[in-house]
Amino acid sequence: MTTGLHWYDLVGFAGVLLILLAYFLLQAHKLHGNRLAYQLMNIAGALGVLVSLVFGSFNWSAFLLELAWIAIGIYGIVRGVRLRRMGG
């Protein structure tokens, strides 16, 4: 059994840090939940965690959670674009 970290572990850690940083910045009122930066941080973070799950130890519940996280982030981006086009 190897105890070292693999590249996909590091990608997963980076993803977790991005998600947590986005949430912290939202709570600290440094980011707004309807802004592109917040959505992209969440999507990129979830993708990082997905990479670690696919190449490392797969877990269905975590995989589905990250897919949902990405879908919600994409929804937020699409909704934001539509609202800006409508002038709202």
pLDDT tens per residue, range 55-80: 999 999 999 999 999 999 999 999 99
Spatial neighbors of 29 by CB under 8 A, at least 6 apart, are none
Rounded Cα distance, 18 and 37, in Å: 11
* Domain assignment of residue 1, yes or no: no
Residue pair 85/62 in contact (Cβ under 8 Å)? The answer is: no
Residue 87's pLDDT is what?
86
The domain total for the chain is: 1
3-state secondary structure of 85: helix
The parent domain of residue 15 ranges over: 7-85
**One digit per residue, pLDDT tens: the chain, 88 residues?**
567 999 999 999 999 999 999 999 999 999 999 999 999 999 999 999 999 999 999 999 999 999 999 999 999 999 999 999 998 6
Is residue 33 in a domain? Answer: yes
pTM for the model: 0.91
